[in-house]
Amino acid sequence: MAKEKTALADRAKRARRIVRNPALYKVCVGCDSIVASKVNICPNCHAYRFEVDADLVVAQAKALSSREQNSVVAEDLK
Question: Across all residues in the chain, what is the average pLDDT?
Answer: 86
Judge contact between 72 and 43, C-beta under 8 A: no
- Per-residue confidence (pLDDT) for residue 64, from 0 to 100: 87
If one compares 73 and 7, the residue with the highest pLDDT of the two is 7
Q: Where is 8: in which H helix or E strand?
A: helix 2-20
pLDDT of residue 68: 66
Closest residue by Cα to residue 29 from 17, 14, 16, 46: 46
**Considering its fold, how many domains does the chain have in total?**
1
Upper half-sphere CA count for residue 22 (Cβ side, 13 Å): 14
User: Averaged over 31-56, what is the pLDDT?
Assistant: 96
pLDDT given for residue 36 in this prediction: 97
Distance from C-alpha of 14 to C-alpha of 35, rounded to nearest angstrom:
11
Q: Which domain holds residue 15?
A: 2-77
pLDDT of 10: 84
